[in-house]
Amino acid sequence: MTLAVLFPVASMVLRVSPQPVSAAPPVASADNRQDPCPRKAPQPFPAGSVMEIDDGEPPCRIVFRPTGVRLEAEVDGSRPDPGPTVVMDGRGRFYSTNASGFVSIISVWDPQGNYLTSFGGVGEGPGELRRQPGIRMFVDGEDRLYVWESGADWSIFSADHEFIGRSRFQMENMRVDSRATVFLDNGELLTGDPYQSDRRGFFLVFSADGALTRSIGPVDEEMARDPEWPLNRVIAYNGGDSFWASPAADGDEEYLIEEWGTDGELRRAVRGNAPWFVWRDDGIPIGGILQFTVDDDDGLMYILYQRLTEEGVRIMRRALAADEPFPRDRRYTETEIVIQMIDLRSGQLLASEVHRTSDAMEFLPPVLFRGVMKGPRPGEGPDGLPFVEIVAVELEAK
């Protein structure tokens, strides 16, 4: 039983109530906000260093504030169901897909949430997609859109939504995970989850035409011999020549997040002094990092870590003893999500909160957009029509 099976939050669909819901305490109104989060002065963080993060009392709290931008369906069909899967390009436009009954349609929305156009459709022709559930979308530094369907090639579109072509990245049984897959500015694909590969470095890089070109990071010989041991390193990339990566799932017990150069150089690392951080306990999978985002402009790192509750550990032990899966109806009630915000300029833990997963689903965006503290939160209005609101992740002084 792997963490990927137990903790599927990255792919879950949230349906929130029509009124914005946020983490307690309630979000202040735009006219009555508290002062921004106080931050310490920046400290030197030279190449090759490790920044130590104390798990003390942070000065701020995290709020998830609706921006007022919504991608909304209309009864008359003038605006389609946006679908729960949303990405944002460098121009602030939104692409959405996986709408019920229209999984092969990709809709385009402007930065204010106005519907612009749609493309795709079912078929095998240029620019058409197969009727496959679970479409994943990625944007690179040139605003090219990469669309993956289960069991299908990648379809690539220009920033003007013109079909460029298809590519098949050369790795057997590649698992396309939006947390562990990014496209670099030059169109190369970088993955932190080289599952069942004969080159099980920590990261693999594929050229734009799909050829495997290089691996980055050390290779753990034990992991390399075990094809059922996915490394599952979550990646944060915001353009340029470096990326951040979480610890390997089922690997090191240390809360160590690394910055790697795309040339393979280990640049620096952040180590959290967090006694609660653990992958396994006596062989039982306890937790794992679901996602994290780095905002270079503000020097912030946002981290989501999910773990079993004490009751969840007992349930897991019984399930493993009986050779049964963890009960699906307990995945959200017997797991917790730790949300942290770290200041990469000073090494300060700014905020840290714990929420039951079932509660967090009411306010938490399933993902954040590349390099910014914003993300989509699907919901449903009183008329039963779906929408996706864009939520900003902000800090406020306690």
pLDDT (tens, 9 = 90+) of the chain, 398 residues, equals 444 434 444 444 334 333 333 343 334 433 344 458 999 999 888 888 999 998 788 999 999 999 999 999 998 888 899 999 999 999 999 999 999 888 889 999 999 999 999 999 888 888 988 777 788 999 999 999 999 887 667 899 999 999 999 887 766 556 677 788 899 998 999 988 655 555 556 788 888 888 888 888 765 555 555 555 555 688 999 999 999 998 765 555 678 899 999 998 999 999 988 877 877 777 677 888 888 899 999 999 999 999 899 999 999 999 989 999 889 889 899 999 999 999 999 999 999 999 999 999 999 999 999 999 999 999 998 988 999 999 999 999 99
Distance in angstroms (rounded) separating the CA atoms of residues 300 and 371: 10
Question: Can you tell me which residue has the tokens 């002084």?
Answer: 397
Closest of 220, 228, 187 to residue 203, by C-alpha? 220
pLDDT score at 228 = 52
pLDDT score at 172 = 56
**Rounded alpha-carbon distances, angstroms, from residue 132 to 20, 99, 147:** 31, 12, 12
Question: Can you tell me which residue has the tokens 């493993």?
Answer: 320
The SS3 call for residue 215 is: strand
Question: Can you tell me which residue has the tokens 């700014």?
Answer: 350
**Rounded alpha-carbon distances, angstroms, from residue 40 to 43, 119, 301, 397:** 9, 47, 15, 13
Question: Can you tell me which residue has the tokens 């137990």?
Answer: 6
pLDDT score at 157 = 96
The SS3 call for residue 187 is: coil
Distance in angstroms (rounded) separating the CA atoms of residues 52 and 348: 9
Alpha helices (runs of H) in the chain, residue ranges in sequence order: 3-6, 221-225, 310-321, 357-360
Distance in angstroms (rounded) separating the CA atoms of residues 353 and 361: 14
Question: Can you tell me which residue has the tokens 């130590």?
Answer: 52
Q: What is the CA radius of gyration of the chain?
A: 21
Over the range 150-184, which residues count as b (16 or more CB within 10 Å of their CB) and which as e?
A: eeeebbbbeeebeebeebebebeebebbbbbbbbb
The residues, ordered by sequence, that sit 6+ positions from 203 with a Cβ below 8 Å of its Cβ are 190, 191, 192, 194, 215, 216, 217, 233, 235, 245, 260
Distance in angstroms (rounded) separating the CA atoms of residues 123 and 133: 14
pLDDT score at 101 = 83
Distance in angstroms (rounded) separating the CA atoms of residues 65 and 392: 5
DSSP code for 141: T
Distance in angstroms (rounded) separating the CA atoms of residues 336 and 334: 7
Question: Can you tell me which residue has the tokens 């009960």?
Answer: 327
Distance in angstroms (rounded) separating the CA atoms of residues 209 and 107: 26
CB atoms within 10 A of CB 323: 7
Q: What CATH number has the domain spanning 3-397? A: 2.120.10.30
CB atoms within 10 A of CB 334: 21
pLDDT score at 152 = 66
The residues, ordered by sequence, that sit 6+ positions from 210 with a Cβ below 8 Å of its Cβ are 154, 167, 168, 169, 170
Tokens of 57: 């009392």
Cα distance from N-terminal residue to C-terminal residue, the chain: 39
Tokens of 176: 């396309």
How many residues belong to the chain? 398
Q: Phi/psi at 272 (nearest 5 deg)?
A: -95, 130
Whole-model pTM? 0.86
Question: Can you tell me which residue has the tokens 């106005």?
Answer: 114
314: left (phi over 0), alpha (psi -120 to 50) or beta: alpha
Quote the distance between the C-alpha of residue 215 and its chain's center: 22
